[in-house]
Each structure stands twice: as structure tokens, then as C-alpha cells.
Structure 1
Amino acid sequence: MGELVDLSSIRKLITYPYYVEDISDFRIKKLRSLGIRGVYNYGSVVVNGFKVLGKGHASIVLLVSHELLGDVVVKVRRLDSKRSSLTNEGYIMSLVKYDVVPKVYYYDDDFIIMEYLDGILLSNYVKLCSDEELIKVFIKVFEAAYKLDLSLIDHLELSRPYKHVMILRDGNVKFLDFESARSSKTPCNLCRVFSSFVSMFKLKEVSHIRTLLKTYKSGKKELFKDIIDSILLSIK
């Protein structure tokens, strides 16, 4: 873990990509009022000379210390973001009924405060593991996608899951980055993850699985076990 520093140390970073003094002062004051007592100089990405957990088109992700919750993550909306608010993302995450997303503690237009996940992204995991280990992880991703479907949330970006799936130290998986996600009566996160799985393992005889998935998407979620059994048979 990196050094814990005062929020004033990121007064320019907090309004990335450019510094606006009054907005910076407002955001720092708001974070302090929410119980954030400091920020860690920690992460694999460096922005303005400061280490952060991540940087995307819409936000920067920081590891911070909360006076009651301990170490948590704060997602900060970039000033040049095309999104005017992070509220929808925080709200969608809070609707998930199962433990397959980070816990959300607070959200508003500028911030999402959520659980810190100690793990490795799927994009890095695939470089380190055997095909057998990867198949076992993908089964867990399928199960998590099924639970997301049961929550009636469509992530929309899981056909390219590698940067959106975190494998935790205990072996469980959680989904990240719900910027594009939405509520849906007929979500099929499972369909998208399966498409990625087919590409990775170059599977060819999968038309019967796609037929099952089509019926699954229409509302027959009880087909999940049959789909998993069929996937396992297709890779033997």
C-alpha cells in the first residue's frame, strides 16, 4: 500500500484534466464531509505524478481511507467527461441483488464511494494461468453473469470482459465499470460472456448453446444449468 497523504495533495488531480480552483475546493470539502481522511499514492497508473488505481474516459479511480469503512475506492468524475453525472452508474450498481459487484456506499454527480477489491483483472489473469484454470474461472464468470441477469441489469460491455472482471484472492469474481449499464427486462450478460469464451477457445460446434441462450434471454433463466453443462461438453 502506498503512502497515505492529505486530500490537499490531489487538489489539481481532483479536477483532472485541468485545475479549477473553486471546483477543487468544493470536491475536497465534500470528500472530507463524507468521511474521507486521506488518499493513498497507490496504483498501476500515474496521473500528474500521482499513482491511481485507474483512469478512464469518464473518471479517475483512487484508493482512499475512510474514517469508518477503512480503505475504500472513490471514483471521481473527470471534468471533461461526456457524462454529466455518476449517479446512474452508482444507482445501477446498488440494484444488483447478489455479491457480484463492489458494494456501493455512496454516490452523487461527482463521486462513487465503493468497496476496494483485492484481486487481479481477468486481462492479467489470462496471461498467468493454464487453459484448465481459465476454464474454471470462466465458469465462475458465467455464474456471476447469471446473477447479474437475475438482477435485471445489463452491463453491455461483457463481450469484452477482460478489463471488467476482477478475480479476488478467494477465487470469487466481481464485475467492474457500470458506466454503460442499464436496467433491462431481458438482460443477457451470460450471452456476452459466452461470446468472449467462444472466441478465446476457438469453439465451433456451439449452435445448440446459442439456441439455449436465445431461449434463456427470453426469460427461461432455469436453463442456466443446461447451458453450463453444454459449455463444459463443448470443450472436452
Structure 2
Amino acid sequence: MKFLTSQPLLAVDYPAGREDIVKKRIEKLERYGISLEKFIAKGYRGTVFSGKMFPPSYFSTPIKVAVKFARSDVDKVNFLLKEAEILEYLSNNDFVPAVYFYDKDFLVMEFVDGEPFDSKTFLHRKDFKEIVSVILEKCYLMDELGVEHTELKGKDHIVVNRFSVKFIDFESAKFAKSPRNLFQFLGAHLFNLPDDALERKGINVERVKKGMKTYKENREKGLKEVLEGLNL
């Protein structure tokens, strides 16, 4: 814990900052070979640190992890258990971080490196349409699996590393009969851009919108039409 000052340490039990709870959580992590390194973010329901997980073997390389702690002022009980349940349900797919350990107080998972997707920034990249197509395919898969992320409209929940895409922060995610991940992404990250900017990229806006209508009745066919509208 030498890398942390007392102020970031209190975020282990934010906003209460109860020293006994902080100590208990850190000691529990250490029993599992996990040490905290840096405070990363504060959300509506939790706080996140980067850390390292040391495998049992002395010769194994430590694994970089993200550790999320439940906030002390959150009304929803055991939301970390729900987030872990959804991540484990999606674990056979490459678009979510791996889960290593969890309980009601914290969740230890793969640290996802990369750049948060912001369409206004990525629009100027040559591979903009290719990245969008990968994200759309992952949204489609999540829709097919019956999970709604609910926060894909935010720019910090989609992380891009070259052509690898991962969704993070599933604390508000839920199982749903009719998930709207693809619609949410398009509405927040494509149609927030001017039509002329999209057309300069060679995107057929009307074709994409037609594909969205088809998607409501037939996801596979609708996705195909949306991707055709990107003119890759």
C-alpha cells in the first residue's frame, strides 16, 4: 500500500471513509494476492482502482487488474454480485473483461487497456468505420444474449485497443427480453454526428436507418443492412 496516500485509500469505502472497513477490505484483497496501485475513477455506485494480482507461483508474472469497490451510500444492495453474474454469463465472448474474484464489497477483474470510444474524436481516424462495425457486431451479440448494458451512450464504457473492443462498467446492466444495445450505440455515437460528416466518410445514413427498422423484426438481417450502410 506504499503507492497510495491516505486520501485515495479512503475511496476504498467512499464516501464514508471508515478506516476499519478500508483496512478489512485491503487485508482481504491481500489474502488473495491482490494489491492496489492507483485510484482511477469514482462512479455512481462504486470506485475503481488499478492493481496487481500475484499468482501463487513465484515465477509467474503479476496480472494487472481493476478493482471496483461498492460505495457506502448506494441503496442497491449487492449490485457488484449482479455485475459479476452478468460478466460471467458473457465470459465466453471477447468483449467483456474477465472476472477473477468478487463478493458483495468488491469485484476484481481484468484491467482493460485502450482508448475510450468518442465518435467525435474517432471520426477523424481512417479506421473509423471499421471500429464502428466491430462495436456494432458486439452490440448485436449482446442483444442476442439478452443483456442490456444501459450505459453505452457514455463515452467511457466502450474501450478500443486497435481493433479490439471491450465494454466495461456493467454495474447498471440487466437481463432483458428486448435489449437495445445496438440502438443505444447508434443513437449516441453515430447519429450525434452531422449527416454531412457521416456522408463524407462514405456512410449511407438512410441505409443505416433502414437497417435499424429491420433490426426490430430480424436482428441478423438488420445488422447486415446497417453494416452495408457503412460502405466498408
Change (3 A) 1:63 1:92: same
RMSD: 2.7
Please name the residue that 2:59 is paired with.
Answer: none
Q: Note if 1:63 corresponds to 2:50.
A: yes
Change (3 A) 1:209 1:11: closer
TM-score, normalised relative to structure 2: 0.80
Q: Note if 1:77 corresponds to 2:70.
A: yes
Identify which of 164, 174, 190 aligns with 1:182. Answer: 174
Deviation at 1:179, TM superposition (A): 1.6
Q: How many residues align?
A: 216
Please name the residue that 1:154 is paired with.
Answer: 148
Q: Note if 1:163 corresponds to 2:156.
A: yes
Change (3 A) 1:82 1:134: farther
Per-residue CA deviations over 1:10-43 (Å, capped at 9, x if unaligned) read 653321223213322321222122221x2213xx
Structure 2: distance between partners of 1:8 and 1:190 = 41
- Asked whether the 8 Å contact 2:116–2:159 carries over to 1, the reply is yes
Gaps of 5+ in 1: 42-51
Structure 1: distance between partners of 2:123 and 2:224 = 25
**Segment of structure 1 superposing worse, 80-89 or 58-67:** 80-89
Gaps of 5+ in 2: 56-61
Structure 1 counterpart SS, 2:36: strand
Identify which of 114, 118, 124 aligns with 1:119. Answer: 114
Deviation at 1:164, TM superposition (A): 0.9
Per-residue CA deviations over 1:65-110 (Å, capped at 9, x if unaligned) read 1112521110111112233221111111211141111111222211
Identify which of 6, 18, 21 aligns with 1:20. Answer: 18
Structure 2 counterpart SS, 1:54: strand
Please name the residue that 1:29 is paired with.
Answer: 27
Structure 1: distance between partners of 2:15 and 2:45 = 11
Deviation at 1:214, TM superposition (A): 3.9
Q: Note if 1:232 corresponds to 2:231.
A: yes
Structure 2: distance between partners of 1:54 and 1:165 = 15
Aligned-residue sequence identity (percent) comes to 30
Change (3 A) 1:128 1:135: closer
User: Which residue identity is paired with 2:15?
Assistant: P
Please name the residue that 1:40 is paired with.
Answer: 37
